[in-house]
Amino acid sequence: MIEYLKDTDNIVTLILDMSGRQSNLLNHELVSAFKPVIEHLQREKKAGRLRGIIITSGKKDFLRQGDLTYLRELTDPKKAFDHAQDLKQFLRDLEMPGVPVVAAINGDALGTGFELALACHRRIALANPKMRLGHPEVKIGLIPSGGAVMRLLWILGIERAYPLLMEGRRYSPQEAVKVGIVDELAEDQDELMSKSKKWLLSDPPSRRPWDDVFAKIPGGSAADPNLGHRIRLLTARLSADTNDLYPAARAIIDLLAEGSKLDFETACRVDSRHYAKIVTGEVSKNMISTFWFDKQAIRDGLGRPKGFGRFRPRRVGVIGAGQMGSGIAFLCLRNGLEVVLKDVSQPIADRGRDFVIAKIDEYIERGTFQPEEREDLLSRIKTTDKSKDFLDCDIVVEAVFENKSIKQKVTREAEEQLDEFAVFATNTISIPITELGKQSLRPENYVGIHFFPPAELSNVVEIIQGERTSDETIARAFDFATAIRKLPLVVQDTWGFFAARVRNTYILEGVTMLNEGYPAALIENMGRQAGMTVGPLALADELGLELVMRYEQQASEHYGDRYQQHPAVPALEKMLNDINRGGRQKRAGFYDYDAQGRGRLWEGSAEYFPVTKDDYNRRRMEDRFLFCQIIESAWCLQEKVITEEAAANLGSVYGWGFPKYTGGVLRYVESYGHERFQQRCGELIERYGQRFTVPKYLRELS
């Protein structure tokens, strides 16, 4: 569990090596094993036989986060408070044996695992750019439980600690040094240990800043008028951005402000109270379930056809050097693959390479990549205007203009160079894969992979199976997606696939409200206050109103006599046909756009869509926005457009911006209550029509 080594300089090395586990985990088991070790170290100090301590790991990871299964089931706030206080006391005991302690970090240290490193007097990490360090808890609706908020407050100050905790980023060691949570780097394990020992032999102070009555928090406390004013501005900005729907985010700014005015022990008790409320709350349960357990299930192969060996792509072809194609190329390079980037001419293809270079330099600047990696990354990309350069590619991804004939032309040219095992993938947003694949030389190897813009940043891709796409090709496309660190959602080839089809209901509901006489500004604000990342009218403009209409026309063709026209259609037809406002690309839609593409709501909207509503029910408007998406998602599951609920949850949040605090479309219904949800839908049907009918799939879930 913990290997204890002591040298002739009275320096003790503790090697964490939990038996029966691939990784070290900071749980009750490890804490129990540590207690007698700490007691022994304290006796050694009193006897004058201890000069310093090094903590390192005997596994690939240094120390990982706590037990999320336990936290997901935790409902008693007192138990949660006691759990947090116990962890804090353990870390206090660790940092107060009367001698300096070094964390020699030789692997990933995340969440609770990094709390132990923060409790050490110095942090030295291997300079391995693939390692990840930090506190990503806010991304699953939590805050650190062991006092990290208070330690970061004292180490960095409020203004530097706030973005670090709020973003929840996983830092490379080089980035960690830049932001100030790691003190220095070592090139290898030997240097890591020698630097740790050298620092201990320099007789550094063993008292932490928060235990020194004369020490000051860097940058001051919230009691300082200027800093207090900036904290109020940060709080206002947070409320505007999140509508106070994320308790963990609000707790972080509150704790930094409160904790800066209290002694460390009192601040830690306040921290534990905030933690107990958050971890037992509904938001954290939703977010842990979706962003940890559902995500892990997809990564482990949920939705992937069974019986096929793992596909390990080496060389990837990308057709189209625009922003999407170049983003895909960068994504592949970042994950160790070779790339052939093709466009109609060499200069255009080279512009795609310039995009990649700019991205690499951006990542070097912030420390994700190291300067010495630049040459290796660029050596793995080849630009061309010739399809013959795809000869050795394992998979080719087409990302050209959304035009059927162009897509089929470039597909044929590329397929002529590929062997019988290579996969050809099209990145389309609206053209059926089966239709595009009719001209394919090997339709069984032809698949859709829908990347969401920007490709290099989005979390999910849709893997779309055409009528003749083989299961083996789906499995290979799935493996390619995981190789470039995307979450693959397997969907069937139908109108709008999954994400675009459901997203369209949100847009249509917003346009319907405009037609009903609600002010455009109110509609946009209510969409965001419901938790959506962008208002429905702005999203309509971003996609283009022609595409919004195209999806609705495809729905009409799909359902035939069963189709019921959405009440938004007349308003869309008016925008497109009568007043020629098609969206952002036309620089005229529900918004007006300046030369730089910045938009503001169209002032002439009320002339064509008169405002007749002088009162509104906020709850009803928000429910309309969210319920229409949930219901359409349930139809997709009922029609087997998508088959996995975990994929539906993740796709809704990452694919089009359904509120993260809900955990996704189906998780929202669980929190809301199935019976209550159906009752509310009945009320909406009476007011707004049959589009709020609950599908059988959702009724049976209850």
Phi, psi of 520 (to 5 degrees): -60, -40
Q: Which of 423, 455, 490 is the last residue of a domain?
A: 490
Examine residue 355 and state whether it is found in any structural domain, yes or no. Answer: yes
pLDDT of 233 higher than 90: yes
Distance CA 576, CA 146 (A): 57
Question: How far apart, in whole angstroms, are the C-alpha atoms of residue 295 and residue 288?
Answer: 10
Q: Do 459 and 516 belong to one domain?
A: no
CATH of the domain at 367: 3.40.50.720
555/616 same-domain check: yes
Active site residue 398: no
How many structural domains is the chain composed of?
A: 3
pLDDT for 96 equals 84
Predicted local confidence at residue 626, as pLDDT: 98
CA 356 to chain centre: 22
Residue 219 CB: number of other CB atoms within 10 A? Answer: 17
Same domain, 80 and 130: yes
Assess whether 137 carries a catalytic annotation.
Answer: yes
Q: Of the ranges 44-48, 96-100, 128-132, 164-168, which one carries the lowest mean pLDDT score?
A: 96-100
Residues 171 and 227 in one domain: yes
Q: What is the CATH number of the domain that holds 265?
A: 3.90.226.10
Give 618-653 pLDDT, tens digit per residue. 999 999 999 999 999 999 999 999 999 999 999 999
- Residue whose C-alpha is closest to residue 495's, from 631, 632, 305: 632
* Non-local CB neighbours of 507 within 8 Å, separated by 6+ positions: 536, 537, 539, 540, 543, 548, 568
User: What is the average pLDDT across 382-411?
Assistant: 95
Residues 329 and 343: their CA atoms lie apart, in Å, by 13
Shared-domain flag, residues 275 and 367: no
Arithmetic mean of pLDDT, 422-436: 94
Q: Provide the residue range defining the domain that includes 256.
A: 2-280
629 and 577, same structural domain?
yes
Does residue 440 share a domain with residue 514?
no
How many beta carbons lie within 10 A of that of residue 457, not counting itself? 9
Concatenating the DSSP letter of every residue in 384-398 gives ES-GGGGTT-SEEEE
Domain CATH number, residue 568? 1.10.1040.50
Helices 499-516, 520-529: axis angle to 10 degrees equals 140
Give the pLDDT of residue 188. 95
Mean pLDDT of 674-685: 97
Instruction: Give domain status of residue 292, yes or no.
Output: no
Mean pLDDT for 143-157 is: 97
Q: What is the pLDDT of residue 368?
A: 86
As a whole-number percent, the residues of the chain with pLDDT over 70 amount to 100
Rounded average pLDDT over 468-491: 97
Q: Which of these three, 428, 455, 490, is where a domain ends?
A: 490
Mean pLDDT of 472-490: 97
Q: Are residue 657 and residue 689 in the same domain, yes or no? A: yes
Instruction: Compute the mean pLDDT over every residue in the chain, rounded to the nearest whole number.
Output: 95
* Separation between Cα atoms, residue 611 and residue 302, nearest integer Å: 48
Residues of the chain above pLDDT 90, percent: 90
pLDDT tier at 24, thresholds 50, 70, 90: confident
Give the residue among 440, 421, 429, 423 at the shortest CA–CA distance from 481. 423
Q: Which of 44, 95, 137, 552 is catalytic?
A: 137
Q: Are 141 and 236 members of one domain?
A: yes
Task: Output the DSSP codes for 435-493.
Answer: HHGGG-S-GGGEEEEEEPSSTTT--EEEEEE-TT--HHHHHHHHHHHHHTT-EEEEEES
Task: Tell me which of 115, 462, 524, 645 is the catalytic residue.
Answer: 115
Say whether both 479 and 598 belong to one domain: no
Q: Is the pLDDT of residue 702 over 80?
A: no
In a domain, 307, yes or no: no
Q: Where is the domain boundary, 464, 490, 516?
A: 490
The answer to whether residue 679 is domain-embedded is yes
Residue 290 resides in a domain: no
Specify whether the CB–CB gap between 505 and 628 falls below 8 A: yes
**Residue-level pLDDT at 658:** 97
**pLDDT for position 527:** 97
CA–CA separation, 18 and 13 (whole Å): 16
Assess if residue 293 is contained within a domain.
no
Least-confidence region, from 29-33, 239-243, 589-593, 688-692: 29-33
pLDDT at position 171, please?
A: 95
Based on the fold, state whether residues 329 and 473 are members of the same structural domain. yes
Residue 476 lies in a domain: yes
Domain identity same for 219 and 353: no
Residue 674 domain-assigned (yes or no): yes
Integer Cα distance of 680 and 684 in angstroms: 6
Decide if pLDDT at 340 tops 90: yes
